[in-house]
Amino acid sequence: MSNEMRSNDWMKQSIIDFDRRGAHVGGVPIESLIVAHGTPLFVFSAAKLRERSQQVKKAFGSRCPAARVFYASKANSNLHILRLLRDEGLNVEVNSGGELFKVLRAGFDPAQVVFNGVAKSASEISEALAVSINAINVDSLCELERVCSLAKGSSSSARVALRMVPEVKTGSSAGLETGTHESKFGMDHVELAEAAALAKLHKGTVQVVGLHMHIGSQTPSLDKYCHGIDALLRTAEELLREHGIAVEHVNIGGGIPIPYLHDTDPWRDAAESSANEISMNAIEYLSANLNCEDVADAVCNRLQECLQRKTVDSEYTRAWTSLANVELYVEPGRYVTGESAILLTEIQSARNRSGDPTGWLMLDAGFNVLLEAFDYSWYFPAVSASRITDPHDTPYRLAGPLCDGGDVFLDHEGFGRLPETRQLPSATEPGDILAFLNVGAYTLEQMMQYNGQRRAAAVMVDNGQVTVIRKRDSYEDLILHDEL
């Protein structure tokens, strides 16, 4: 890859860099990381994690002093990373009893925790009540009934936020759309009213402290966030008017995107020329490049405009005055960790078939390591870490090691959503190391042991020091829970 190519957008946000010594992360040569830790290997940058944490805190805190950032731990709940983010002053969102266990083990105070999820078990709710977390984001009337029942035996009232359906469609991948009645998440207008009435009946044991929504991940448009905050505030007014409930906070969820596809990415031209509607939609959300300042501007301005208008014009001025200082919660996940890591994978084998000019490269990482590339047809840019200064001008098909025909890095739905090939140096061969970029979110969490593959290791580079933050599985780990 030429220096001119290196300066292009599709590489500049990655943690990988290079000089005369070759490719490195934070000054640590990739070659030395491979020698010490093998492949597949996730490499994280502590500097990038700290940078993103402070960016999102400043973006919302400077525009809305009552804002609080709750990192979505489902994106990456590695203990080392959780502790780093805690030290940077972030709060945390969990989606299971297991994630609650992990964040408490990492040192978060229960008052820093909100709990999402559509199917919380009785034991999970009891665990949350036992430590008095900030809020349980209740997803349904059925769940609220369960919380009311379990809270009767608790020493303090259950703090709950009601998750609503904002009816906002973002245009992201279908599996990431969570803000409409077509998704499994949240309560519609009728169910929400029933939930508010039920909470009033159990006022001594349940306290409604917030309203929550999440329009979806990798949201490409600021307008969608504005529509979401409008829906939250309309519902807050209804709770005041019809039920006398004044919430302490409104929670806009997460969804702040990162760009996986840049203007100069080799695949983009081919995808655009296909004129395929699905491919064009994928380009929009994979190249979404809203930053946290953009989102904070839009959300905080709309929040203040609405609150001021309601305080002045509403016939419920006195009640709305109690909401004038409402807190704003935000739950970014991918935005905090996504660009903080690369995945290093070694080419194990190559194949060229007669009559087919495009060669195959077989990697030691497939959907057992990068599941999102397959279940969501997600696009992760790839470069040659071994030949990073060589021109990336030759198409190759990439495949993983699994005995599964779907273990290939291309379109899995037949719609032209992903490229059939990746551009790499012409001399690429077995033994070379490739780097998939922007893999810090939804990767460590989704690894599996299919085909007897050991889950990958992960290291953190911090001021030139390398720390193992996840050990590679051993063969014994493959049978850890099996019984003969």
Predicted pLDDT at 6: 41
The confidence band for 4, taking pLDDT boundaries of 50, 70 and 90, is very low
Give the C-alpha distances (Å, rounded to integers) separating 42 from 391, 439, 446, 468.
25, 8, 13, 10
> How many other CB atoms are there within 10 angstroms of residue 471's CB atom?
13
Q: Concatenated DSSP letters for 343-364?
A: EEEEEEEEE--TT--SEEEEES
Predicted pLDDT at 400: 96
452 in the same domain as 442: yes
Domain end marker among 280, 313, 337 = 337
Q: Which pairs from 33-37 meet CB under 8 Å and 24+ separation?
A: 33/344, 33/459, 33/466, 34/344, 34/346, 34/433, 36/466, 37/457, 37/459, 37/468, 37/472
The residue among 252, 269, 261, 254 whose CA lies nearest residue 210 is 252
pLDDT at 203 over 60: yes
The confidence band for 3, taking pLDDT boundaries of 50, 70 and 90, is very low
Predicted pLDDT at 323: 58
Tell which wins on pLDDT, 272 or 393.
393
Task: Tell me the average pLDDT across 45-62.
Answer: 97
pLDDT at 168 over 70: no
Predicted pLDDT at 322: 56
* Token digits of residue 243: 């039920």
Predicted pLDDT at 252: 93
322 in the same domain as 397: no
136 in the same domain as 258: yes
Predicted pLDDT at 1: 37
pLDDT at 266 over 80: no
pLDDT at 351 over 70: yes
Supply the CATH number for residue 414's domain: 2.40.37.10
Predicted pLDDT at 306: 76
Task: Tell me the average pLDDT across 436-456.
Answer: 96
Task: Tell me the average pLDDT across 105-134.
Answer: 97
| pTM of the predicted protein model | 0.92
Residue 162 within a domain:
yes
Largest CA distance in the chain: 79
447 in the same domain as 324: no
Tell which wins on pLDDT, 236 or 473.
473
Task: Tell me the average pLDDT across 413-436.
Answer: 84
**SS3 of residue 436 by DSSP:** strand
120 in the same domain as 13: no
Q: How many domains does the chain have?
A: 2
The confidence band for 2, taking pLDDT boundaries of 50, 70 and 90, is very low
Tell which wins on pLDDT, 372 or 262.
372
* Those residues with Cβ within 8 angstroms of residue 173's Cβ, 6 or more apart along the chain or in another chain: 217, 218, 282, 285, 376, 377, 378
**SS3 of residue 127 by DSSP:** helix
Residue 189 within a domain:
yes
Answer yes or no: are the C-beta atoms of 219 and 253 closer than 8 Å: no
353 in the same domain as 444: yes
Domain end marker among 320, 337, 354 = 337
User: Percentage of residues in the chain with pLDDT exceeding 90?
Assistant: 60
* Token digits of residue 465: 């020091």
Tell which wins on pLDDT, 400 or 303.
400
Predicted pLDDT at 65: 85
Predicted pLDDT at 420: 81
Predicted pLDDT at 280: 65
Least confident of 157-166, 271-280, 418-427: 271-280
Domain end marker among 337, 363, 395 = 337
Answer yes or no: are the C-beta atoms of 195 and 235 closer than 8 Å: no
Residue 484 within a domain:
no
384 in the same domain as 246: no
The confidence band for 449, taking pLDDT boundaries of 50, 70 and 90, is very high
Supply the CATH number for residue 141's domain: 3.20.20.10
Task: Tell me the average pLDDT across 199-219.
Answer: 90
185 in the same domain as 280: yes
Question: Can you tell me the distance from the alpha carbon of 163 to that of 363, in angstroms, rounded to the nearest whole number?
Answer: 42
Predicted pLDDT at 99: 98
Tell which wins on pLDDT, 356 or 283.
356
Residue 316 within a domain:
yes
The whole domain housing 311 covers 47-337
353 in the same domain as 219: no
Least confident of 26-30, 302-306, 333-337: 302-306
31 in the same domain as 173: no
330 in the same domain as 344: no
405 in the same domain as 310: no
